[in-house]
Amino acid sequence: MHVAGLPLRGHILANYIAGRVANDKALPEAERERILSEYANIAAANVAMAVPLVRSARTIFVGHDKSLNVMQKLMQPGSSGVNLSYGNMRFVPTETSSAHATFQLDGALASLTLRPYLSGKAFGCHRDKADAYVRVIADGKDVYAAWLSPKTFRLVTLDVRGVDALDVVVDNGVEASGDSGCARVMLKVPQMLCYDASCVQPGPYRDQLAPSSRILTNDPMRADIEHLASMRPLAKRRVSGKMSNLRWMLSRQVAKQQGYGSFKAQPDAQLFMHPGVDHAAWIDFDVSGLSRIELTPRINKLDHKCLSLDTPKQRVGIVDVRFILDGKLLRKPIVVDRDFASNVALQVDGGHTLRISVTKHGPVNWCDWFSVGFPELDGPAAPTGVNAAH
């Protein structure tokens, strides 16, 4: 719709509202028809109204048949773990380092569409469980970040007006993975808008506009719908970055008991806590002044060695998690395995000490690589920051 010159602001929301109205049987038929008729008129007017893509600046559309050549030309020396494969850019991170490419735009691009996806099956890889973490950084600022799995589809159009340098970074997303070859990411460039056919001349908005794009922390096929269902008024939401939230929570740590290995803050803003053989790994936080906490319990990607230990009778990478507020269970314990992808919301109004306790689920604790993050903290004491829901 954006490329076609159609307005997006409010259009998607209006479409959603119209759908809700059309299916609301509690509304009188005449009222439903009136609202839907008004919506149809507004939609028709929107389509009839032309909207310039990049103010009044003239841009040149470059399709997928030429865009990769442009990106090759803009790629800078020093990129690592990146090569060409069948008309795509292929990023292959190692066990200890990211795959990384820098593109020197010099303000020559207006917009850039990217489609990252996991490549086909690699020898010895368990592709059904593989994943990778992709970040796009414009002039030192994160403008896009997303997890990839074999079943996810990612397509993002970035506003890159005024951007000088664009970095694409691909990680396994796990501290120690012996299965690093499974995180091969192919990057397609379906289209771009340039100020100049060669995409090497500075554009008219250099240094005037900051790039912006939504940062995805969950798979939209599941988490976004759940997030919409739990939305509260934005004025009541005080949300900072996920890593800032993790640091803030760790600053209010009261006590802890390690399981198998040390607790560790991961680059993806998850706190790693492996349960022990005969005891739980737990950590206590002072949650005074918080009303609500949203958490992301996860099992990190397992390496090839761990996956080889997994059998139907003896599963690995599965734990029991308990949330205890001032000595009382907040909710029923949950089982977190490698397919767990939901967020968990806890109401902690009036509470003081929150304990997150993790124990092995089966007879062994091998490769129970559990981690937890804190994407949202609400309440008077919560750290302030840019509202991620805006």
Question: What is the side-by-side strand order in the sheet with 264-265?
Answer: 264-265, 270-272, 370-378, 292-299, 344-347
- What is the per-residue pLDDT across 55-114, written as a single tens digit (0 to 9) for each? 445 677 787 777 888 888 888 988 888 887 666 788 888 777 889 999 998 888 888 888
User: Of the ranges 113-127, 235-249, 250-264, which is most confident?
Assistant: 250-264
Task: For Cα atoms 8, 39, 6, give the angle at the middle one, nearest 5 degrees.
Answer: 25
Q: Which residue has the higher pLDDT, 52 or 262?
A: 262
Nearest-CA neighbor of 167 among 145, 183, 194, 192? 145
pLDDT of res. 1: 55
Q: Both ends of the chain: CA-CA distance in Å?
A: 21
Residue 191, pLDDT score: 83
pLDDT, tens only, 9-59: 566 667 777 788 888 888 888 888 888 877 777 666 665 555 444 444 567
Query: What percentage of the chain carries pLDDT values higher than 70?
Result: 73
- The 3-class SS string of the chain reads CCCCCCCCCCHHHHHHHHHHHHCCCCCCHHHHHHHHHHHHHHHHHHHHCCCCCCCCCCCEEEEHHHHHHHHHHHECCCCECEEEECCEEEECCCCCCCEEEEEECCCCEEEEEEEEEECCCCCCCCCCCCCEEEEEEECCEEEEEEEECCCCCCCEEEECCCCCEEEEEEECCCCCCCCHHHHCEEEEEEEEEECCCCCCCCCCCCCCCCCCCCCCCCCHHHHHHHHHHCCCCHHHCCCCCHHHHHHHHHHCEEEEECECECCEECCCCEEECCCCCCCCEEEEEECCCCCEEEEEEEECCCCHHHHHCCCCCCCCCCEEEEEEECCEECCCCEEECCCCCCCEEEECCCCCEEEEEEEECCCCCCCCCEEEEEEEEECCCCCCCCCCCC
Q: Are 164 and 106 in contact (CB under 8 A)?
A: yes
Tokens of 239: 């949300």
Whether pLDDT at 204 is above 90: no
pLDDT at 154: 84
- Mean pLDDT, rounded, of the chain: 76
Which of 166-170, 191-195, 200-204, 299-303 is least confident?
Answer: 200-204
Give the per-residue pLDDT at 389: 33
Name the amino acid, one letter, at 58.
Answer: R
In terms of average pLDDT, the best of 117-126, 236-245, 314-323 is: 314-323
The CA distances from residue 229 to 154, 222, 232, 258, in Å, are 22, 11, 9, 36
Tokens of 104: 């020197």
Encode pLDDT of 273-294 as tens digits: 999 989 999 999 999 999 999 9
pLDDT at residue 274, as a whole number? 92
What is residue 156's predicted lDDT score, i.e. its pLDDT? 85
The CA dihedral of 381, 322, 389, 193, to the nearest 10 degrees, is: 130
- More confident call, 148 vs 219: 148
Q: Which residue has the higher pLDDT, 210 or 224?
A: 224
